[in-house]
Chain A
Amino acid sequence: MNPWPFVTAAYVVTVALTAALLLWAFASMRRAEAAADTLKRK
């Protein structure tokens, strides 16, 4: 059995899920902090 498709799949899943977590956390932080700043300026 060729092991490389398994190794590749494991790394792709790890990178994809970690990137999704970080992007979601970053986007929600930016959105919330922008809303708080806008409200503070009003």
Chain B
Amino acid sequence: MHALANPTRFLRIARPATTWLLLVGLALSIVGMAAGLTRTPPDYLQGETVRILYIHVPSAWLGMAGWMGIAAASLSQLVWRHPLAAIGGRAAAPAGATFAAICLVTGSIWGRPTWGTWWEWDGRLTSMLVLFFLYLGYIALASAEKERGGEGRIAAIYGLVGAVNLPIIHYSVLWWRTLHQGESIGLTGSTIAGSILWPLPLTLVGFTCLFGAAVLMRMRAELAEAKVEARMRRLGT
């Protein structure tokens, strides 16, 4: 990670990586969504609504992964004072918030025909909604600190404390009685039939690449803005 502490070296890698992540992400997401809509059979219980799985699961993963990134960047900033950590945390927040919002909306849309309700205040849904609000708080706090010229240490502490919500989201379906189904995809396998499951890795990898591209683009924007500000200060304007 410290090899990337130099912004010039980071940009040398980030520029081509942005393009590749965008192209691969778009291709895999489009193919995965098209396959999920047209190439898989309906579920014997959920019928056609099972197709929402191909967008809901990646957005849930990325909503949580975004905060894992913020927590890692916060730790890196507070412990090792990595010069790009605060920028990385600020760049990950809008992307994470967007995918947390997509997860909440697509889950709600799936819930209406499947559970008969748009929303239920159970452990999984509520902890995911809390994550979305945590993102909004982080974005507001980090922006305010940046405007004041701070190092972003308060936002970093907030980023670390907010990570407490991640295991709550993950284990909520085990800890509390919930409408949300239990874990159906784990590291050792899945309870979902292969004929339905196969487009999911495509959208998972595809949306993850798009997430990465969005984060890199925001980091590049912040680095360029910092360069302009430093130059303006030197020119005395």
Binding site for B on A (CB under 8 A): 1, 3-4, 6-7, 9-11, 13-15, 17-18, 20-22, 24-26, 28-29, 31-33, 35-36, 39-40
Contact = CB atoms under 8 A, between A and B. Distances in A.
A3 B228 contact: no
Contact of B227 (A14, A15, A36): A36
B102 A13 contact: yes
Given A14-B59, A29-B218, A21 B95 contact: yes
DSSP class of A's interface residues: helix, strand, loop or mixed?
helix
Contact of A6 (B22, B95, B113): B113
Contacts of A10: 52, 55-56, 105-106, 109-110
Interface of B: 22, 29, 33, 37, 47-49, 51-52, 55-56, 59, 94-95, 98, 101-102, 105-106, 109-110, 112-113, 207, 210, 213-214, 217-218, 220-222, 224-225, 227-228, 231-232
A18 B225 contact: no
Given A25-B214, A32-B224, A18 B98 contact: yes
Contact of B217 (A3, A18, A28, A40): A28
A36 B225 CA distance: 7
DSSP class of B's interface residues: helix, strand, loop or mixed?
helix
Contacts of B109: 6, 9-10, 13
Contacts of A6: 49, 52, 109-110, 112-113
Contacts of A17: 98, 101-102, 105
